[in-house]
Amino acid sequence: MGDTEATTEATAELLSLRSTIDNIDAALIHMLAERFKATQQVGRLKAEHDLPAADPDREKRQITRLRALAEDAHLDPAFAEKWFNFVVAEVIHHHEQIANGER
């Protein structure tokens, strides 16, 4: 196989892999949108009942659970925890906005 043929095959494989990555990214965005729809409902429920925006005990349980899931999936548990902390910070921000009548 010549260099040109190998490059053409590599390019085709790269395009196929990028298409798969694009599909996964789209699925992740849609899943995050659904997750935030649910957390918005949680925020409204908490606001209606004067419950705090954050739930540190639940967050600790979720971190433990997600780190274990990440290990099972061969994903860096520290990355899973960073991702979760990023999402939770945004959720808490939304909950505070709801509680203050901003959403």
**Residues 97, 103: Cα–Cα separation, whole Å:** 6
**Residues 30, 18: Cα–Cα separation, whole Å:** 18
**Residues 43, 50: Cα–Cα separation, whole Å:** 10
Q: Does the model's pTM come out above 0.85?
A: no
Asked if the model's pLDDT at residue 33 lies above 90, the reply is yes
Is the four-CA dihedral 24, 30, 32, 38 of positive or negative sign? negative
In tens, the pLDDT along 39-93 reads 999 999 999 999 998 899 999 999 999 999 999 999 999 999 999 999 999 999 9
Q: The domain 3-99 is classified under which CATH number: 3.40.190.10, 1.20.59.10, 2.160.10.10, 1.10.150.120? A: 1.20.59.10
